[in-house]
Amino acid sequence: MKKSVLTITLNPSVDKSSSVQNIVPEKKLRCNSPKYEAGGGGVNVSRGLKRLGIVSDVFFTSGGRTGRLLEDLLQAEQLNISPFHIGEETRENFMVLDTASNKQYRFGFPGERLTQAEQKKILTRIMVMNPFPDFVVISGSLPAETDQDFIRQLVGTCKSKGSKVIIDTSGEALKTAVEEGVFLIKPNIGELAALVGKEKLEETDVDEAAQFIISQGKAEIVVVSLGSRGAVLFSANEKIQIAAPDVEVKSTVGAGDSMVAGMLSVLIQDGNYKEILSMGIACGSATTMAEGTGLFKKENVERLYKEIQKQ
């Protein structure tokens, strides 16, 4: 039976990207025409799944003129959107490429707070979904001052409906979700260290930390991102490490979200752990080949996946 997917993005954005030659202070810089794309963790996961031919439902907060633009951008990509309208304006992010140095400058904004009433309504809206999705991805940053108990309740609600929850966030939100217990997490080494109460971890300590989280029932699968070196997947009985392919990196925006999309595309087809991690790395690496805030091209994913499978 075909498995269903819901992505939840509580702090989405409209990502504006441009380029200019030589970024210098106190000078009017004449940028090239901007490009606007939908952004935010879960939103990007759904955009990635769409490129892989997989349908998902996209739940996200939306407010003001930026929220309307976000909805238009997602509809243009023919995604199944489910916006939750809020009183504050949806945030924007801004990226500029200095064509002289080929360096990218990324400016991210925090997003306005969700009111207590809005948080309660979101929980209700999720709770009454019928049929409930097989997989729920809660991904991206949280708006300022979001109650951590809200994340606990959100994860608990999805689990109570029999859904497998994938969390890709950071800070207190990640710690709270993991305490509730989830299906899969994708921390980097720094985030993994925080989850086990340490200031930092050496790479040799990663195995012990990941297995501790799994043994405590806080996650079934832990995928530790190693950046340009690839990633390592842990389950109760397996450890699989795969190096990232050598590609020309143009931008890292959306690479982590693309990795989640790639892994999920194999998970819903009951693929094995090596296939899951391979596709995740292929999608993440392919996204770094795209300029600005663009995501991967499917043909690049297919080529990189074949290369990775040969490792």
Q: What percent of the chain has pLDDT over 70?
A: 99
Once rounded to an integer, what is the mean pLDDT over residues 243-260?
A: 89
Mean local confidence (pLDDT), 230-259:
91
Selection from 226, 243, 136, 138 nearest residue 188 by Cα = 226
Ranges 178-187, 229-238, 249-258: which has the least confidence: 249-258
Residue 310 pLDDT > 80, yes or no? no
**Predicted local confidence at residue 133, as pLDDT:** 97
Tell me what the pLDDT averaged over the chain comes to. Answer: 93
Q: Give the pLDDT score at 184.
A: 98
CB 114 within 8 A of CB 146: yes
How many C-beta atoms surround the C-beta of residue 139 within 10 A?
25
Active site residue 246: no
Residue 291 has pLDDT above 80, yes or no: no
Catalytic residue, chosen from 57, 98, 257, 270, is 257
pLDDT-based confidence at residue 292 (cuts at 50, 70, 90)? low
Residue 81 predicted with pLDDT over 90: yes
Q: What amino acid is encoded at 96 in this protein?
A: V
pLDDT score of 110: 87
pLDDT at 97 over 80: yes
Q: pLDDT, tens digit, for every residue of 115-169?
A: 999 999 999 999 999 999 999 999 999 988 888 899 999 999 999 999 999 999 9
Enumerate domains of the chain plus CATH numbers.
Answer: 4-146 (3.40.1190.20)
Q: What mean pLDDT comes out for the span 34-45? A: 95
* pLDDT of res. 96: 92
What's residue 287's pLDDT? 93
Q: Please report the pLDDT score of residue 268 as a whole number.
A: 96
Strand order of the β-sheet with 35-39 is 35-39, 13-20, 91-98, 103-107
- Predicted confidence at residue 206, as pLDDT, reads 93
Give the pLDDT of residue 9. 98
Strands 80-85 and 57-62, by their bridges, are parallel
Render pLDDT for 177-223 as a digit per residue (tens, 0 to 9): 999 999 999 999 999 999 999 988 887 889 999 999 999 999 999 99
pLDDT category at 309 given cuts 50, 70, 90 is confident
